[in-house]
Amino acid sequence: MGPSRQTAPPRSVRQPVPPTTRAPGRQSDPAMTRVCNETFGSLPDGSPVVRFTLRSSSITLRVLSFGAIVTSLETEDRDGRAADLVLGFDTLEGYINKHPYFGAAIGRVANRIAQGKFSIDGKDYQLAINDGPNSLHGGLKGFDKVLWTPEILPNGVKFSMTSVDGDEGYPGELRVWVTYELNGEELSINYRATTSKTTPVNLTNHSYFNLAGHGIPTIYDHEVSIEAENYLPVDKTSIPTGEIASVVNTYFDLRNPVVLGNHIKNKLTEGFDHNFCLSLSKQRSPCARVYHRPSGRLLEVETTQPGIQFYTANFLDGSLKGKGGAIYPKHSAFCLETQNWPDAVNKMEFPDVLLRPNEEYNHTTWFKFSVVKQ
């Protein structure tokens, strides 16, 4: 996965993208994906937000140009019944208002930076504080609140944006490309970025999944495994202590599947909101697997990233009005945020999070949705 410096930046598409004439519908060729688009709403300044629908043989995915937000992801269960597996809102307003990052692209730096402070080459930087004493998910206006420029691809859609030098306190002008593609049962999300000055970069997607369907009140019947021998203990503000701890003989040992309900009730009542340490190889490697036995749905995740934040929606409290009037209580979804380790910019022993002007950030995560027949 080396840098591909020759790759031309994506061609810009002026908004709004004209509606495509290709008809949606199920595909006979499993490798083929159809892409269509429509206007979803307008931002307060009048800019139109476009929603793209990607249809493969087994997944229907909807993504917005605002925040590059995944708004729905539909698959069938073992009896052929379709359900939408991600939490979200019916209208653009829901996504413009403050919300817990449903489905969004997260940047410039996903997860927490202690007290929003870091220094690079002897220069100190201070970010906005938006999570207790820390900076979380890019700051006050992260990439989840930005209107991206879309480009339709044969199997998906590529979004690009430029984060200006000094954006949210971060150094350097950062150009970013996020590409969603469907290939049969697999959704891939590729993240690329280049910068004019050395800056931390950590990009992820913050989809909240429930394999029984969004709006089902718990994920306690989901079986989860994460291929990690180590995890990062955190302080009470969720900043890693610096220790890279073994999962052996702890409730973080998810190398063999656990049924989440039993596991949380017996061992970790609040649920998970922790980084698990993955392979540092930057090669595509399996990292997590979630099985929902009642529906037969299986999600398998692979990534080039060195970490994954496993979050069991501990902060949801049922107060948001979700799609179709759904209520989203605590533990009604899980996030598998593949990313670099939290606060890596302040921890020398964590994987390097700095992107330099002569480099390209390039990471991909693959989400495979299949069905286990009984």
Residues near ligand GLA (CB under 6 A): 100-101, 111, 136, 238, 273, 309, 311, 315, 335, 337
With b for 16 or more beta-carbon neighbours within 10 A and e for fewer, the 330-366 pattern comes to bbbbbbbbbbbbbbbbbbeebbebbbeeeebbbbbbb
CB 292 to ligand GLA: min, Å: 21
Instruction: Given the residues 137, 168, 185, 206, select the one marked as catalytic.
Output: 206
Q: How far apart are CA 277 and CA 267, in angstroms?
A: 20
CB 209 to ligand GLA: min, Å: 13
Q: DSSP assignment, residue 131?
A: B
Catalytic site includes residue 222: no
In terms of CB distance, is 144 or 302 closer to ligand GLA? 144
130: three-class secondary structure by DSSP: coil
CB 131 to ligand GLA: min, Å: 6
Describe the chain by its helix, strand, coil percentages, rounded to 5.
Answer: 5, 40, 50
CB 206 to ligand GLA: min, Å: 6
In terms of CB distance, is 155 or 205 closer to ligand GLA? 205
Give the residue from 156, 147, 204, 162 showing the smallest Cα distance to 179: 156
In terms of CB distance, is 138 or 172 closer to ligand GLA? 138
**What's the distance, Cα to Cα, between the start and end of the chain in Å?**
37
- Which H or E run contains 339? strand 335-339
Q: DSSP assignment, residue 262?
A: H
- Which H or E run contains 307? strand 307-311
CB 101 to ligand GLA: min, Å: 5
**How do strand 186-195 and strand 199-200 relate by DSSP bridges?**
unpaired
The greatest distance separating any two alpha carbons of the chain, rounded to the nearest whole angstrom, comes to 60
Give the residue from 84, 24, 30 showing the smallest Cα distance to 55: 24
Q: How far apart are CA 256 and CA 249, in angstroms?
A: 12
Residue 99 burial (CB count, 10 A): 17
In terms of CB distance, is 183 or 309 closer to ligand GLA? 309
CB 335 to ligand GLA: min, Å: 5
In terms of CB distance, is 118 or 208 closer to ligand GLA? 208
> Which sign, positive or negative, has the C-alpha torsion 197, 200, 363, 135?
negative
Instruction: Given the residues 137, 181, 337, 363, select the one marked as catalytic.
Output: 337
Can you name the residues that pair with 187 across neighbouring β-strands? 182, 367
In terms of CB distance, is 59 or 146 closer to ligand GLA? 146
In terms of CB distance, is 309 or 365 closer to ligand GLA? 309
At residue 182, what is the residue type?
L
Q: How far apart are CA 35 and CA 279, in angstroms?
A: 34
Catalytic site includes residue 292: no
At residue 350, what is the residue type?
F
CB 49 to ligand GLA: min, Å: 22
In terms of CB distance, is 101 or 369 closer to ligand GLA? 101
Task: Return the structure tokens found at 350.
Answer: 């964590």
- Which H or E run contains 92? helix 92-96
CB 361 to ligand GLA: min, Å: 20
Q: How far is CA 109 from CA 120, 137, 355, in A?
A: 15, 6, 11
Give catalytic residue positions: 206, 337
